Every structure is written in C-alpha cells, then in structure tokens.
Amino acid sequence: MKKLLTLFITVTLIGFSGNLMAAINIKLGLVTKPGSAQNVAAEKFKELIEQRSNGNIKVQIFHSASLGNETEILQQVQMNTIQMAIVTGGPFDTFDPMARVINYPFLFKDYEQVDRILDGPLGAELLKSLEGSGFKALCFSENGFRNLTNNKRPVKNPEDIKGLKIRVMASAIHKAIWQTLGANPTPMPWPIYTELEQGVIDGQENPLWVMEVYKFHEIQKYMTLTRHVYSYHIDVASLRWWQTLNADTQKMIQKAMVEAAVYQRKDNRSKNAARLQLLKEKGMQVEENPDVNAFRAKVAGLKDMDVYKDPKVQALLNKILEATK
C-alpha cells in the first residue's frame, strides 16, 4: 500500500511537472490589422492550439506591425525573439530566393492549381528550403490574387501603366515585374495608406480584401483585375525555437496551423465576390477584363532574368511551370 502510494505520488508529481514544463508562450507577429487575411489565420491558430493544449500553449498575437515590418519580423523569428509569424510571400525572397518562384507572374490559373502545387511536393520543397535561413515553415495561408489599383487613369493594357509610380513589396521579383511592365516601382513596407493618400505613390497592387479592409476605395479611383500574382503567406516558426520542442508539441502546432490555413483560404475565397461588389458600390471604377495576354507577353522573359538565375530556383520554377501548363 505504502509502495503504491509512493508510486501514485511520484506519477502525479511527474505529471504535474510535465505540465509545468509544457507551458509555452508563443509570440506571433503580423503587419496587418484585425480583419485581414493574415489575422484570420492567426486567430484561428490561436483558438485551436489553446483549446487543444488545454491552455498549456498560449499565443499572443502582435498585429499591425507593432513588432516591426515584415522583414524585421522575419529577422526576429530567425533569432527566436518572436516564435511565429504569418508573412506575405514577397519579403521572404530576400532571405531565400526560392520564395520568388510562387510569385512568378501569371503562374497559377485558378485555385485548383494553387492548392495542388502548394499542398503537394513542390510546395513542400519550398517550405523545406527555408530551414536554410532559420525558418521552420509550416504551411501556406493566402493573401489571394493581386490586382492593380491607381489614382491616375483606368488601366486595361500594359501601355496604360507607363510611368505610374507603383508601390511594391520588398521583393526583387515584384520590382522586376513592374519595371518590365513599364511602371516606376517603389519598394515600401506595409502599411501604405498615408503614402497613397498623399500621392507619394500613384498606385499599389493587392488582393481584394486589402482594398476593403484598408478602405483603399477612399483614396484609389481605378482598379484593374490583373490577378498578376497569386500571393501566399508562409506560416513560419523560428527553427531555433522549434528544435527545443518535443515531437508531440511540434505535431500539435503543425496540425493546428495547417487547419487554420485551410480555414482561412476558404474564408478568403468565399468573400471575394461580395468584396468586388462593395468596392464598386463605394465608387471604384473597375476594369474587369484587362488584356491579360498582353500583360503576360510582356513579362514572359522574366524567367530567364537574373532574379531566377540560381539553378535551384530555376529548377523549381521550371517544375511548377510544367505542372501548371
């Protein structure tokens, strides 16, 4: 009996200290504000992981760039001062040029292709590659297909873009796209409302949710449904932090993030039609049928340009081009 009691106490204590040790606080960084695509994924992840870990894992979401811009957030993730982040595809390419591949213009025709590639072995190849820069990349959530807005004139053809000052993300490929199209691309971190309002830039490009959530209809007159880049987020953890977690915890976090991403992609897609309607009602002049073939022809040479010259990057791009034909 005494033995049994000792055993019981020991097991209880181990269980208790195990619980204490499992207490994990995750700082998660975002540059966008509540209601944004990134935030939907982050909030879902928080809900799932806190519930499933019985509160042992806690997520603190730092949104609206309170920890810095996307490049600065990624640097802090590398150092493990921030454990997780949801960051748009663009800024990743200064850390790993492999990230440029998905930002290739007009790569995906539809969501079926997006999901097949990103959730398959080619997407996994990109996620794995990021370990080389100190990121444990868990999965992809989405920003969506990007569209051009500007305040100068309606845009239907590439000629209409000539000389427009367009804000782009901190990304070599995004800059190259707009240069090739004849614009004057200006890299700038998020957010950019003031710069648009004051006319420092003429336009910008982003998915429909951005125009609604950030009220760009107040300050941008023209929108063109260019859908030139499918914009993903990579949902990352600090590799340095990840390696301190046990396998069960890693699995639980990975699963919750993947589910949050699936939820968020669906949520985002289901709202696009209503968003377009709303933006028109708010007075934006929308070109729904731009000459996409002309845009595509102009940027067709990009795959042979310097931004893709790394053989590893070139190889992944060619594989995805083949798979999305």
Residue ranges in contact with ligand EAX by CB under 6 A: 31-32, 88, 143, 169, 190, 206, 210, 231
Q: Which is nearer to ligand EAX, 57 or 85 (CB)?
A: 85
* Closest separation in Å from C-beta 313 to ligand EAX: 21
Query: What is the distance of C-alpha 135 from the center of its chain?
Result: 14
Nearest Cα neighbor of 177 from 269, 89, 59 is 89
Which C-beta is closer to ligand EAX: that of 40 or that of 276?
40
Shortest approach of ligand EAX to residue 169 CB, angstroms? 5
Write down the least CB distance from residue 189 to ligand EAX, Å.
7
Q: In the bound complex, which residue of the shown chain has the CB atom lying closest to ligand EAX? A: 190
Work out how close the CB of 267 gets to ligand EAX at its nearest, in angstroms, rounded to a whole number.
15
Compare residues 214 and 222 and give the one whose CB is closer to ligand EAX. Answer: 214
Cis amide bond preceding 34, omega within 30:
no
Closest to ligand EAX by CB, 88 vs 268, is 88
Total number of residues shown for the chain: 325
The dihedral built from the CA positions of residue 57, 92, 225 and 190, taken in this order, carries a sign that is positive
Q: Which is nearer to ligand EAX, 235 or 239 (CB)?
A: 235
Give the HSE-up count for residue 57: Cα atoms under 13 Å, Cβ half-sphere. 22
Q: Which is nearer to ligand EAX, 147 or 180 (CB)?
A: 147
Q: Say how many C-beta atoms besides its own lie within 10 A of residue 18's C-beta.
A: 10
**Rounded to the nearest whole angstrom, what is the least distance from the CB of residue 213 to ligand EAX in the complex?**
9
- Taking phi over 0 as left and psi of -120 to 50 as alpha, with beta for the rest, 153 belongs to beta
Least spacing, CB of residue 193 vs ligand EAX, in Å: 11
Nearer to ligand EAX, 32 or 151 (CB): 32
Residues 252, 49 contacting (CB under 8 angstroms) = yes
Helix (H) / strand (E) containing 40:
helix 37-52
d(CA 143, CA 37): 6
Q: Determine which helix (DSSP H) or strand (DSSP E) holds 89, and give its type and residue range.
A: helix 89-92
Q: How far is the CB of 140 from ligand EAX (least distance, A)?
A: 14
- Rounded Cα gap, residues 41 and 59, in angstroms: 13
Can you tell me whether residue 148 is helix, strand or coil?
A: strand
Residue 24: Cβ within 10 Å count: 17
Q: What does residue 61 show for φ and ψ, rounded to 5 degrees?
A: -90, 120
> Which whole-number Å values give the CA distances from 28 to 22, 53, 63, in the listed order?
18, 17, 8
Nearer of residues 94 and 314 to ligand EAX, judged by Cβ = 94
In the complex, the smallest distance separating the C-beta of residue 129 from ligand EAX, rounded to whole angstroms, is 22
